[in-house]
Structure 1
């Protein structure tokens, strides 16, 4: 059973590495996503991942700074229990969508500066990227409105 969970943590961790987390941050996050109950004490995380205190500590600090993880305490227990902060994580994801408009603006500047270059194929590729983000910029408010309506209906 433990080996199966370790394999799942590894598999999910690899995915989160591809999203910009360090290997250990990705493994800690994956472990906390799979934990049942959904909160783990520091030394249990360290033991499961077979990593040093400083490595786990650094991973948890960064995950908390990013809003992906927080901790709880229990009455009469001095330990901190780490868990995925689902609401903060969702807010972080939604905030990352806010970078689309500045990205589109920057791409417009880049393309304007590249108008006189002798690289039409590359410029076409950049325009394609810009068009994709323009589409996202147009559609995301509609998607967010639908999501908000759905959440209100489920509340």
Structure 2
């Protein structure tokens, strides 16, 4: 299989993963996948649309979603009117931190549910199990050294 075909196959796998795991349209996953693997790392909307076979209208809607979510950063170049896009340097840490904040919020909701159901009640038991599972993962995350994208020299 040619290199370009392999890249597009990988981009499609990324699209399906993002659609299934995060509930985003496949086009958003294709954009993200393409920007993770393309060379050069900054691409115009036209370059991205051509690479992944998307319409510019669909691309614009999904690009806005990815930039709002801080996955993708829009940049300009001096003397040019074209916008260029690239995967934000801290996108992955941002995603993980948002996920952890969501887990903490769910843990807190479970705690409120335990109080509502009455601690020690049969109803509270289901909530307690959820609370403990989420508290466990949050504790593990807090104990791990901070992630660094800098390569050792």
TM-score normalised over the length of structure 2: 0.80
- Superposed displacement of residue 124, structure 1: 5.0
SS at match of 2:86: strand
Indicate the residue corresponding to 2:53 in structure 1. 50
Contact 1:67 1:89 in 2 (8 A): no
SS at match of 1:77: coil
- Taking the aligned partners of 1:152 and 1:36, their CA distance within structure 2 comes to 21
Contact 1:71 1:81 in 2 (8 A): yes
Superposition RMSD in Å? 2.8
- Taking the aligned partners of 1:83 and 1:9, their CA distance within structure 2 comes to 15
Relative to 1, partners in 2 of residues 1:11 and 1:151: Cα closer, same or farther, differing over 3 Å? Answer: closer
* Stretch of structure 1 that moved more, 2-11 or 82-91: 82-91
Contact 1:67 1:85 in 2 (8 A): yes
Contact 1:25 1:59 in 2 (8 A): yes
- Superposed displacement of residue 104, structure 1: 1.2
Relative to 1, partners in 2 of residues 1:137 and 1:16: Cα closer, same or farther, differing over 3 Å? Answer: same
Relative to 1, partners in 2 of residues 1:16 and 1:113: Cα closer, same or farther, differing over 3 Å? Answer: same
Indicate the residue corresponding to 2:32 in structure 1. 29
- Superposed displacement of residue 151, structure 1: 7.2
Structure with greater helix percent? 1
Indicate the residue corresponding to 2:136 in structure 1. 135
- Gapped regions of structure 1 (runs ≥ 5): none
Indicate the residue corresponding to 1:59 in structure 2. 62
Equivalences, count: 149
- Superposed displacement of residue 114, structure 1: 4.3
SS at match of 1:78: coil
Runs of 4+ off more than 6 Å = 150-153
- Gapped regions of structure 2 (runs ≥ 5): none
SS at match of 2:39: coil
SS at match of 1:86: coil
- Superposed displacement of residue 52, structure 1: 1.5
1:93-115 residue CA offsets vs partner (Å, 9 max, x unmatched): 21331233321121122244445
- Superposed displacement of residue 70, structure 1: 0.7
Contact 1:14 1:23 in 2 (8 A): yes
